[in-house]
Chains A and B, each alone.
Chain A
Amino acid sequence: MSRTWDTARRNREARLQRAAPLARGKWVEAAEVPRLLEALVEPGDRLCLEGNNQKQADFLARALCRVDAARVRDLHLVMSVLALPEHLELFERGIARKVDFSFSGPQAVRLARLVSEGRIEIGAIHTYLELYGRYFVDLTPRVALLAAAAADEEGNLYTGPNTEESPAIAEATAFRDGLVIAQVDEQLQRLPRVDIPSGWVDFVVRAPTPAAVEPLFTRDPAQISDVQVLMAMMVVKGIYAEYGVDRLNHGIGFDSAAIELILPTYGERLGLRGKVCGHWALNPHPTLIPAIEAGFVRSVHAFGSELGMEGYVAARPDVFFTGRDGSLRSNRAFSQTAGHYACDLFIGSTLQMDLAGDSSTATRSRITGFGGAPNMGADARGRRHASPAWLRAGREARGDGPGAPRGRKLVVQLLETFREHMEPAFVERLDAHALAEAMGWALPPVMIYGDDVSHVVTEEGIANLLLCRGAEERAQAIRGVAGYTPVGRGRDRRAVENLRDRGIVRRPEDLGIEVREASRDLLAARSVKELVRWSGGLYRPPARFRSW
């Protein structure tokens, strides 16, 4: 019997035939979408519902919630971010059964509850790049539901500044005979640019409301504390200046926003303009505006956009990647690759760290997932190009040992010794282990592994883990910056003083930093309004960040 080699393609044709009466060409009326999905989606399908870190295919998510759960059921969702209540409602209604994902920030508590009730089966929690990788290996979507800014009659898509993951999902789906459905904010005669060609797209629907986008990367400078300014000074002087860090990625948080905001003041005074912080893999953080205007920043490639930054980005094409239409072109897959392989440094905040330097943001009652931080915050062992910062970190890590020279990525973890409610940030054992035991997972959800961390920065000082020899030295170095937490008070004082003599633990005074000088007055902008002024009025912050 001869084998057929195009079962998926024939199945796709059958689905398209079932759906054809509901569409006019590629265009479908919004009210018809639940019926369209019933015609197109089969039980047990792997389905990607575009849920990005920022942009959400929220109309299609609502439509999928409204299908007949007797016809469309047991779906296997493959999607990066579980952000909307509808994403979990699909499981409560039995429309979906299993999920492979990356991040679940706003739904972390509800997700943990549904998992413990046995109503969601988690395949695995990935980093972004792993999940995109698996789209092209064993988790290819059968159906993808995308969000775009606009489409033309033929179904070409324009994604505007928030392109994010759309091209990666569409490519994986379209080239394995899957089906691609896009919601768009508007239909245009001529698109400003084509981000996804119509040949990859099967159906388009105009959503009644524009796709939801969250301003996730806006940090109001008014909420940055003096302590965060002190930590930022230590990072700029003790790490950026010393290693000459010119290619980098910042995580989200007030700690790293403080660094961005003291570059034009403190960084300028240290003579660092043109020497550090030139090239970034970063969303368009509003708090980066002063460093861009002051001439520190030469290029930024973005994972996604940020609400309110569109006009500013469009007016700074020398800095940002922009299309012929002038607006930002973001792409999470490429920016994650850049962050992993092309950057010398990652810096981010964390909630909990143990004596091995492992850190996590997971707690017993929340399944938050990973997002992209583990890829940024990991030594790129496959990297083969040199830079001064990378080589120096490698020398510090290797010492005078045998073997070929090799570089290291700088992975910096920022944390105040106590977080809110006076919870110690340093612990003997991460909550992640208890969560893994409760959920029966093989892997505890460790965000950044200690052996990837090069520096730990707290308000007490910097611990350089590259220079530590052995687990005991690492533990004492971490205790040495852990302040008055039980872990910090458990330090061997003489061992820590010895580490200090060797430059492994460094206090602000060791770096020539006056603690008294660490105040918000060093911030180039102390409010969102001052960011608007730096931008010459081009940055238009969302209402929730305005007090005028």
Chain B
Amino acid sequence: MSAPPAPRRSYREAGARRRLLAVLDPGSFRELVGPAERVQSPHLAALDLPAAFDDGVAVGRGTLQGRPVLAASQEGAFLGGAVGEVHGAKLTGLLRLAAREQPAGVVLLLDSGGVRLQEANAGLLAVSEILRALLAARAAGVPVVGLIGGGWGCFGGMGIVGRCCDGLAMSEEGRLGLSGPEVIETTCGVEELDTRDRALVWRLYGGKHRIVLGEADLLVEDDLAAFRAAAASLLTRRRVLTLERLCQAQEALEGRLADFGSCADPVDLWAAAGVVAPAELPLLEPEPFLAAVARARRPVP
């Protein structure tokens, strides 16, 4: 008889604050600009849409394994974690604070479909401000790491934010990308990407494929404790940004396109990258999965 899986506390199903409380040291989280201050979107009311007292993101201070960190957690239940003006300003402010305060790191719990379309240009501007503040914090010597395991994944502008971090941890259920599956289906047609094929959507955007492509560093179970351990581990792996490294990354991406540009399905890519039983990858637990793809992984420097 197979051993029954141990009951886990799902990261994917937890809300933004429950995730934060579980990832940071118990009792250490102190929220900044919390819901009691009611800093909420000025745009949604004009569209007769309900606002949230926190604009869908919780930011604040805490400790992780005793070391001071700043942290943010996007709430997918509010407009899919989409970035509006206030939401973006809270993330930008947190990253600027990091550059000033020099904590041991910034932990971003990403769960977002991207820019909040209702806020149009304000949301787009907010994303560029987040990117600038993130790179400034890294340049000031503060590592910024991301966790992706929520129901909305990490798409659009937030997908770029994720890839600008020092490191990313993902669960298989977490998804990372620029254009989401529905966007691709709508603009390029169902022949390009059939979003009803959920297995294909997760093969393409899910954590395992991102690990093979070298876009994510750690693959974790959909479990709050596993994400906590991953966040602590990522903070020890700072990646200093240099021109040389960026050039290497560009070369790696060009190599990926040359090697795999004709693959129609991630399974084809896994096979081309040398995985022995590529069709079996989706069912493997993280550890055997990592062993199976060890030689196939293509880290982007």
Contact = CB atoms under 8 A, between A and B. Distances in A.
A533 B5 contact: yes
Interface string B1-27: 110110111100100000000000000
Contacts of B201: 547
Interface residues of B, number: 20
Interface residues of A, number: 24
A320 B94 CA distance: 58
Given A543-B197, A548-B172, A524 B4 contact: yes
Interface stretch (A130-138, A489-497, A534-542): A534-542
B268 to A, nearest CB: 16
A510 interface: no
Contact of B10 (A526, A536, A537): A526
B267 to A, nearest CB: 11
Nearest to B199: A546
A535 B4 CA distance: 9
A530 interface: yes
Nearest to A543: B199
Which of the listed residues A544, A546, A548 has the most CB atoms from chain B within 10 Å of its own CB? A548
Interface in A36-64: none
B202 interface: yes
A532 B5 CA distance: 11
A547 B199 contact: yes
A512 B63 CA distance: 37
Given A547-B198, A548-B202, A548-B283, A520 B2 contact: no
B215 to A, nearest CB: 18
User: DSSP class of A's interface residues: helix, strand, loop or mixed?
Assistant: helix
Contacts of A546: 198-199
A290 B7 CA distance: 12
Contacts of B173: 547
A265 B173 CA distance: 23
A414 B10 CA distance: 27
Contact of B203 (A520, A534, A548): A548
B7 A524 contact: yes
A325 interface: no
A521 interface: yes
A533 B286 CA distance: 13
B172 A293 contact: no
Contacts of B206: 548
Interface of A: 264-265, 290, 293-294, 520-522, 524-526, 529-530, 532-537, 543-544, 546-548
27 contacts: A264-B4, A265-B7, A293-B2, A293-B4, A520-B13, A521-B10, A521-B13, A522-B7, A525-B5, A526-B10, A529-B283, A530-B5, A532-B283, A533-B2, A533-B5, A534-B2, A535-B2, A537-B283, A543-B197, A543-B199, A544-B198, A546-B198, A546-B199, A547-B199, A547-B202, A548-B172, A548-B283
Closest 9 CB pairs of A and B: A548-B282, A536-B2, A547-B198, A546-B199, A547-B202, A548-B202, A533-B5, A521-B9, A548-B199
Given A293-B2, A522-B7, 10 more contacts: A290-B4, A293-B4, A524-B4, A524-B5, A524-B7, A526-B10, A526-B13, A533-B5, A546-B199, A548-B202
